[in-house]
């Protein structure tokens, strides 16, 4: 199936149930962000192959939707089983391709297996409802409405580089369980891991054509996919820039967008500082800050700021830095361009008077974890998502000022509040414009049975297993006119 030359594999695309090279005869080289060498090539799929794949998904979807939930669930449970067999090799692939440390890469695979199994269970337990017409003024009891959920058709699933397996499966599994066909477009840097997870799905004997895997640069094939009349729903996770572009291109198509963030950690005077530091450190720096839900700014009360900064500095200086293979927390960023971007934000802040507490060293795309104090509103780092290991600290005089700064951001994914006063926690949580507020904990997406959403420039619509099943299906009403 895979073509190996000089130890570097050229991976086929998975089009309409067939593993095959693209008719374009063009491939894209994938470099490891930390080993730096080429680790494989993926196909640059053509527009006519996209057409054929979408048509195949449409054809296969009709029969797929007639299977019982239990029958569809069997394929997915077997997929989870196949992924479990491949756990080590898939984790190694994630580590090699996107530079996530091995322990976290393995956690991503395990979380994905759990998510697929949970999605099957959740779908099995969802049910329609019936309603009598007499609930409405003048309505009649003789009208009985039967409300069921039906599939949308073909779902386009577009995933980002930082969770190449989990954020792909969190779209594919609910789409399939809801009875849809799927066109899966992985992030180019992440597509080898995507291919491996689909090889596992293919081994289940899932009907041919129900899912196709389209590799190719988003900048080249993305608009064609998004605007394709055969696509009935788009589930996208990635940057706000691409998400906004998609929302302009897709017309009258249900769209779920999970985008960037600038999650604040609000630290009140009465916070338990040791607990706060533990959560801020793991929130800001795991996977070098390449998480949408990373803590991306600290808004700390003046009264405890010196104490907090001293504790954070100690913790940051103790962080492990280096190779993903050695399970370091701080690992090389996805590419040099991303490292240049983060460096630019650090330089801008320091030029404008921020205090460097620790960090600001760099070897190519490996950046030391960096703490900046006395960050002010005129600095880009106060507002922009770095997606790297840098944490700005903004000192505030009051809870109100913290709320005002939290809400001044264009982003609205999550926020953390650290306080021992439950009333204050609830007051702040109620005032912050985000999808989720974490009280005395770091921002994070899981557990995956929770709804997950961003507001403002952080997204549109809701993920989480239950909500994904809802967004990938629609209501269908049949009215029985009795008597």
392 three-class SS:
strand
The backbone region for 142, taken as left when phi is positive above 0, alpha when psi lies in -120 to 50, beta otherwise, is: alpha
3 three-class SS:
strand
Cα 84 to Cα 99: distance, rounded to the nearest angstrom: 21
Is 258 considered catalytic here?
A: yes
Residue 259 lies near ligand NAP (rule: CB under 6 A): yes
- The distance of Cα 167 from the centroid of its chain, to the nearest Å, equals 5
Residue 438 lies near ligand G3H (rule: CB under 6 A): no
Query: 396: number of CA atoms within 13 Å, CB side?
Result: 24
Is beta strand 473-481 parallel, antiparallel or unpaired with respect to 143-151? antiparallel
Q: Do 294 and 265 form a contact (C-beta atoms < 8 A)?
A: no
Question: For the stretch 229-242, what's the b/e string if a residue is b when 16 or more beta carbons lie within 10 angstroms of its beta carbon?
Answer: ebbbbbbbbbebeb
The size of the interface with ligand G3H (CB under 6 A), counted in residues, is: 8
Cα 405 to Cα 284: distance, rounded to the nearest angstrom: 18
Q: Do 158 and 215 form a contact (C-beta atoms < 8 A)?
A: no
Residue 218 lies near ligand NAP (rule: CB under 6 A): yes
Binding residue for ligand NAP, selected from 9, 24, 204, 239, defined by CB under 6 A: 239
> And the tokens for 371?
């703490």
Residue 162 lies near ligand NAP (rule: CB under 6 A): yes
Among 54, 458, 25, CA closest to 261: 458
Residue 267 lies near ligand NAP (rule: CB under 6 A): no
Cα 195 to Cα 174: distance, rounded to the nearest angstrom: 19
Residue 261 lies near ligand NAP (rule: CB under 6 A): yes
Applying the rule CB under 6 A, the residues between 121 and 140 that interact with ligand G3H are: none
Residue 108 lies near ligand NAP (rule: CB under 6 A): no
**278 burial level (CB within 10 Å; 0-12, 13-18, 19+):** middle
Residue 187 lies near ligand NAP (rule: CB under 6 A): yes
Binding residue for ligand NAP, selected from 387, 402, 416, 468, defined by CB under 6 A: 387
Residue 174 lies near ligand NAP (rule: CB under 6 A): no
Per-residue string for binding with ligand NAP, 28-57, x by CB under 6 A? ------------------------------
Tell me how far, at minimum, the Cβ of 236 lies from ligand NAP, in Å.
7
Residue 238 lies near ligand NAP (rule: CB under 6 A): yes
Of 32-40, 176-184, 235-243, 322-330, the window that binds ligand NAP (rule: CB under 6 A) is: 235-243
Shorter beta-carbon distance to ligand NAP: residue 237 or 419: 237
Binding residue for ligand G3H, selected from 446, 447, 475, 482, defined by CB under 6 A: 446
**CB under 8 Å to 9, separation ≥6 — which residues?**
2, 3, 40, 41
Tell me how far, at minimum, the Cβ of 285 lies from ligand G3H, in Å.
12
Shorter beta-carbon distance to ligand NAP: residue 137 or 229: 229
Residue 444 lies near ligand G3H (rule: CB under 6 A): yes
Residue 291 lies near ligand G3H (rule: CB under 6 A): yes
Among 272, 288, 305, 302, CA closest to 420: 272
Cα 83 to Cα 87: distance, rounded to the nearest angstrom: 6
The size of the interface with ligand NAP (CB under 6 A), counted in residues, is: 32
Among 407, 439, 434, CA closest to 423: 439
Residue 159 lies near ligand G3H (rule: CB under 6 A): no
Please identify which of the residues 49, 82, 97, 258 carries the catalytic annotation.
258
Preceding amide of 470 cis, omega within 30 = no
Tell me how far, at minimum, the Cβ of 141 lies from ligand NAP, in Å.
45
Q: Do 298 and 333 form a contact (C-beta atoms < 8 A)?
A: no
Shorter beta-carbon distance to ligand NAP: residue 12 or 261: 261
Query: 120: number of CA atoms within 13 Å, CB side?
Result: 17
Binding residue for ligand NAP, selected from 80, 206, 213, 292, defined by CB under 6 A: 292
Distances in whole angstroms, Cα of residue 237 to Cα of each of 93, 210, 243, 246: 21, 21, 8, 11
Applying the rule CB under 6 A, the residues between 456 and 475 that interact with ligand NAP are: 459
Residue 293 lies near ligand G3H (rule: CB under 6 A): yes
Q: Which does 259 bind (CB under 5 to 8 A by kind): ligand G3H, ligand NAP, none?
A: ligand NAP
Shorter beta-carbon distance to ligand G3H: residue 164 or 209: 164
Binding residue for ligand G3H, selected from 53, 96, 112, 162, defined by CB under 6 A: 162
Per-residue string for binding with ligand NAP, 344-383, x by CB under 6 A? ----------------------------------------
Q: Which does 444 bind (CB under 5 to 8 A by kind): ligand G3H, ligand NAP, none?
A: ligand G3H
Tell me how far, at minimum, the Cβ of 302 lies from ligand NAP, in Å.
30
Q: CB neighbours (10 Å) of residue 19?
A: 16
Site for ligand G3H, rule CB under 6 A: 162-163, 291-293, 444-446
Catalytic residue annotation: 258
């Amino acid at each position: 199936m895979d073509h190996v030359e000089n130890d570097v594999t050229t991976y086929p695309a998975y089009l309409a149930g067939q593993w095959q090279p693209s008719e374009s005869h063009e491939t894209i080289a994938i470099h490891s962000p930390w080993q730096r060498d080429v680790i494989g090539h993926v196909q640059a799929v053509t527009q006519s192959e996209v057409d054929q794949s979408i048509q195949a998904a449409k054809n296969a979807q009709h029969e797929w939707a007639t299977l019982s939930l239990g029958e569809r669930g069997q394929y997915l449970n077997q997929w989870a089983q196949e992924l479990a067999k491949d756990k080590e090799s898939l984790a190694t692939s994630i580590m090699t391709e996107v530079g996530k440390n091995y322990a976290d890469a393995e956690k991503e695979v395990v979380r994905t297996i759990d998510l697929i199994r949970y999605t099957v269970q959740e779908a099995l337990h969802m049910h329609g409802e019936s309603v009598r017409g007499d609930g409405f003024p003048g309505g009649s009891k003789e009208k009985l409405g039967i409300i069921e959920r039906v599939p949308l058709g073909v779902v386009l699933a577009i995933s980002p580089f930082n969770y190449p397996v989990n954020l792909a499966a969190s779209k594919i599994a609910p789409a399939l369980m809801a009875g849809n066909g799927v066109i899966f477009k992985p992030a180019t840097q992440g597509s080898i891991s995507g291919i491996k997870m689909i090889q596992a799905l293919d081994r289940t004997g899932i009907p041919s054509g129900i899912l196709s895997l389209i590799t190719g640069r988003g900048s080249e094939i993305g608009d064609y996919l998004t605007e394709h009349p055969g696509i009935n729903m788009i589930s996208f996770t990635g940057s706000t820039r691409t998400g906004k572009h998609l929302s302009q291109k897709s017309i009258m198509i249900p769209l779920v967008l999970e985008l960037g963030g600038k999650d604040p950690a609000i630290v009140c005077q009465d916070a338990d500082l040791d607990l706060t530091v533990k959560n801020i450190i793991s929130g800001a720096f795991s996977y070098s800050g390449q998480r949408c839900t990373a803590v991306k700014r600290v808004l700390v009360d003046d009264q405890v700021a010196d104490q907090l900064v001293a504790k954070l500095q100690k913790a940051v200086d103790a962080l492990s830095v280096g190779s993903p293979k050695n399970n370091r927390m701080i690992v090389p960023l996805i590419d040099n361009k991303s490292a240049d971007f983060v460096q630019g934000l650090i330089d801008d802040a320091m030029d404008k008077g921020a205090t460097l507490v620790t960090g600001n060293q760099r070897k190519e795309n490996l950046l030391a974890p960096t703490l900046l104090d006395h960050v002010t509103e005129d600095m880009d780092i106060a507002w922009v998502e770095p997606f790297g290991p840098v944490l700005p600290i903004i000192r505030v005089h009051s809870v109100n000022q913290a709320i005002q700064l939290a809400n001044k951001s264009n982003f609205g994914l999550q926020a953390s509040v650290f306080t021992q006063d439950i009333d204050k926690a609830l007051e702040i949580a109620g005032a912050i414009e985000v999808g989720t507020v974490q009280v005395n904990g770091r921002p994070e997406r899981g557990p995956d049975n929770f709804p997950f959403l961003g507001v403002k420039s952080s997204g549109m619509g809701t993920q989480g297993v239950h909500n994904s099943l809802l967004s990938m299906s629609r209501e269908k009403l049949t009215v029985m006119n009795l008597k």
